[in-house]
Amino acid sequence: MKNLEVAELLRNIAELLEIQEENSFKIRAYEKAALVIENLSEDIGKVWKEGRLEELPGIGEALAEKISEFLEKGRLAYYEKLKKEVPIDMENLGKIPGLGPKTLKKLYRALKIRDVPSLEKAARAGNIRNLPGLGAKAEENILKSLAFSKSATRIPLGFALPHAEEIVARLRPLKDVKRIDIAGSLRRRKDTIGDIDLLVASKNPAAAIGAFASLPLVEQVLAKGDTKSSVRLKEGIQVDMRVIDEKSYGAALIYFTGSKQHNIELRKAAISKGCKLSEYGLFSNRTNALIAGKTEQDLYESLGLPYIEPELRENEGEIEAARQHKLPRLIMERDVRGDLQMHSTWSDGSNTIGEMARAAQEMGHEYICITDHGGNLPIANALKGAQTKDYLKDIEKANNNIRGITVLKGMEANITKDGTIDVPNRILKQMDIVLGSIHSGFKNPKEEMTKRITKAMENEHVDIIAHPTGRLINQRPAYDTDFDALLDTAKSTGTVLEINASPERLDLDASHVRAAVQRGVKLSIGTDAHTAESLKSIRLGVFTARRGWAEKKDVINALPVKGMLAQLK
Ligand code: DGT
Ligand code: CA
Ligand code: CA
Ligand code: ZN
């Protein structure tokens, strides 16, 4: 789909027009169209081919013509002309979070900043803090944003995992592969990964490596040695594979799972016991004998520790907790009994309520909550007040007709700029679950964002704050909030915070989950699925919960339906 590309084009045009101080109606028209297309659930290419561009809200003849030209030719003459007129590299500077055209214009006038390198140079040199209206805080934010843009080359967990699993599934049956596991940050279920690491036990490393390097998914073999190889997949991801003898497999799995910091701490623990730890095993200093190495359990045990789950291995207190036998009993995929956020054809989803419910029932869910968009969100085809009755009837119908699953009535309502909910209480009241979420105004100052969300939490109808930080992995950083204040209000109002399991969100992230768990704030896991297929991403939410040290008791949808509903306001 070219939707994001077209949205970016329109947004770039809006920014260029703003720098040129064009008429604000014109600028807003481009911005609005960008938002519409970004949130469109169908392929813009398809809409164009079917001649329906002008049916989209906010897209008139002139815009439709420009979008057509871009889709047809891959470029837009009007945009190229604008770019030539403006000496600033908006395409790249505009991608840096928090840098709007107004700021860029200032930076250009004062410091001749026209591209990313000149921006970085000026920020590092401390030249930005002295500009009127910018200051030290702005300079710091610019440096942070530059770091964010650089880290955006990492691969989202939900994209990498299926590729790794496919490789494992192809190699596992081979006779030269005795054991195989995903290792590295992917095994730790980090939200983004640098590369995929695989570990194999084999008596014939050459054969295992040969099979790996000739997999159909492989685009290029980057390195091929006796016991290790690196390849690049057609999807652009690098995969490192290491082959090791079975007697060292557990030690190697610990070593290559990492994190590096966790390993360093384990090595210290080994030294204090008069031993040496490497990827080959735990050895006695005195006799050089192998003490443990075949399994991870043996090895942790020999270090005087219980087994530590991979998601916890970040050297963030897990070794200390293990020593004191205070490790959490992490929630598991099978503990989750339902999915608390999804959309249907009643708003911007692609499947009917019945199709969503059937797919969820097949996955083994005991219940789901349909949470179509309500309120003032034309881009997501939000439900109008008058549709509520039929919407709820449709949910009831699915609930009655589909056996083995409870279908709950829900709505995802917007938190407006001042923190009110843009759906009337008489409608909210009819729902089993109301999600409150932010879909606009992401760049408001910290105090305002915090106020918006805490005010929404104080609404007696809002049960869950959906995607509470608004981050989109690699695309948009979390909006600025006082997260401790959010936790305080969540706690005092009994509002649940969502772990949005959608592969591009994972919001809350692990560190926020951990803070919520410590504060005793309850969590929910929801896929935010817009298709039946994406219901499967529920596991990404569970992984994130686990990385945040969450137990079954912390997550409301690990409860049976009655108990879960009893946890709400
Ligand atoms: P990534 O790929 O950037 O998301 O992060 P990781 O953790 O997967 O790191 P990677 O792929 O460089 O290496 C995989 C694991 O191998 C890492 O988690 C720990 C281990 N490892 C790599 N280099 C070192 C090292 O220099 N010292 C120690 N102790 N372990 C290492
Ligand atoms: Ca890695
Ligand atoms: Ca690696
Ligand atoms: Zn949403």
Q: Which residues pair with 524 in a beta bridge?
A: 498
Mean pLDDT, rounded, for 210-234: 95
Q: Answer yes or no: are the C-beta atoms of 4 and 34 closer than 8 Å.
A: no
- Please state, in angstroms and rounded to a whole number, the distance separating the CA atoms of residues 199 and 186: 12
The 3-state DSSP class for residue 143 equals: helix
User: Hey, whose CA ends up nearest to atom 15 of ligand 1?
Assistant: 256
List, in order of start, the domains of the chain with CATH numbers: 3-151 (1.10.150.110), 155-244 (3.30.460.10), 249-323 (3.30.210.10), 333-566 (3.20.20.140)
Give tens-digit pLDDT for 433-488: 999 999 888 878 899 999 999 999 999 999 999 999 999 998 888 999 999 999 99
Report the pLDDT value the prediction gives residue 150, as an integer from 0 to 100. 74
Nearest ligand, measured from the Cα of 231 = 3
Give tens-digit pLDDT for 223-245: 999 999 999 999 889 999 999 99
Work out the number of other CB atoms within 10 angstroms of the CB of residue 135.
13
pLDDT above 70 as % of the chain:
100
- CA–chain centroid gap for 54, Å, is 32
Give tens-digit pLDDT for 539-568: 999 999 999 999 999 999 999 999 999 999
CA dihedral (546, 144, 4, 411) positive or negative: positive
Predicted TM-score of the model (pTM): 0.81
φ/ψ (deg, to 5) at 433: -135, 130
Peptide bond into 146 cis (omega under 30): no
Residues in the chain: 569
Instruction: Find the angle CA(405)-CA(408)-CA(414) to the nearest 5 degrees.
Output: 145
| 445 alpha carbon – ligand 4 mean position (Å) | 22
Which pair of structure tokens corresponds to residue 499? 């772990």
- Please state, in angstroms and rounded to a whole number, the distance separating the CA atoms of residues 561 and 407: 10
Q: Helices (DSSP H) in 173-288: which residue ranges?
A: 184-187, 205-213, 249-257, 260-272
Mean pLDDT, rounded, for 282-300: 97
In terms of phi and psi (left: phi > 0; alpha: psi -120 to 50; beta: otherwise), the region of 336 is beta
Q: Which residues pair with 370 in a beta bridge?
A: 409
Pocket of ligand 1 (CB under 6 A): 184-185, 190, 193-195, 197, 255-256, 258-260, 263-264
Mean pLDDT, rounded, for 158-165: 97
Confidence of residue 152 (pLDDT cuts 50, 70, 90): low
| 295 alpha carbon – ligand 2 mean position (Å) | 21
User: Hey, whose CA ends up nearest to atom 20 of ligand 1?
Assistant: 256
377: pLDDT strictly greater than 80:
no
Question: Quick one: which atom of ligand 1 is closest to the CA of 240?
Answer: 11
User: Hey, whose CA ends up nearest to atom 13 of ligand 1?
Assistant: 184
Which own/partner pairs from 299-302 qualify as long-range (CB within 8 Å, at least 24 positions apart)? Answer: 299/250, 299/251, 299/254, 300/254, 302/275
What single DSSP character describes residue 551? B
Nearest of 329, 323, 365, 374 to residue 347 by alpha carbon? 374
Sheet holding 238-244, edge to edge: 179-183, 196-201, 238-244, 228-233, 218-224
Which pair of structure tokens corresponds to residue 407? 């279908």
Residue corresponding to tokens 């005010």: 455
| 278 alpha carbon – ligand 1 mean position (Å) | 13
The helix (H) or strand (E) run that includes residue 496 is strand 496-500
| 212 alpha carbon – ligand 4 mean position (Å) | 40
User: Hey, whose CA ends up nearest to atom 23 of ligand 1?
Assistant: 260
Q: Which residues pair with 223 in a beta bridge?
A: 230
| 185 alpha carbon – ligand 2 mean position (Å) | 5
The amino acid that residue 475 corresponds to is: Q
Nearest of 344, 341, 339, 340 to residue 531 by alpha carbon? 344
Q: Helices (DSSP H) in 459-502: which residue ranges?
A: 483-493
Which pair of structure tokens corresponds to residue 131? 């500009």
Distances in whole angstroms, Cα of residue 553 to Cα of each of 317, 336, 523, 524, 561: 21, 11, 9, 11, 14
Peptide bond into 259 cis (omega under 30): yes
Which pair of structure tokens corresponds to residue 53? 């561009």
Give tens-digit pLDDT for 509-539: 999 999 999 999 999 999 999 999 999 999 9
Distances in whole angstroms, Cα of residue 310 to Cα of each of 41, 186, 274, 314, 330: 36, 10, 25, 9, 11
Report the pLDDT value the prediction gives residue 483, as an integer from 0 to 100. 98
334: pLDDT strictly greater than 70:
yes
- CA–chain centroid gap for 220, Å, is 28
Q: Answer yes or no: are the C-beta atoms of 542 and 336 closer than 8 Å.
A: yes
Instruction: Find the angle CA(116)-CA(117)-CA(121) to the nearest 5 degrees.
Output: 115
End-to-end CA distance of the chain: 40
Question: Quick one: which atom of ligand 1 is closest to the CA of 267?
Answer: 29
Give every CB contact of residue 7 below 8 A, 6+ residues apart in sequence: 34, 35, 37, 38
Report the pLDDT value the prediction gives residue 197, as an integer from 0 to 100. 98
Which pair of structure tokens corresponds to residue 515? 């803070």
- Is 376 exposed, middle or buried, given 0-12, 13-18 or 19+ CB atoms closer than 10 A? middle
- For the chain, the average pLDDT equals 94
φ/ψ (deg, to 5) at 464: -135, 135
Range list of β-strands (E), 262-314: 275-278, 281-284, 290-292
Nearest ligand, measured from the Cα of 239 = 3
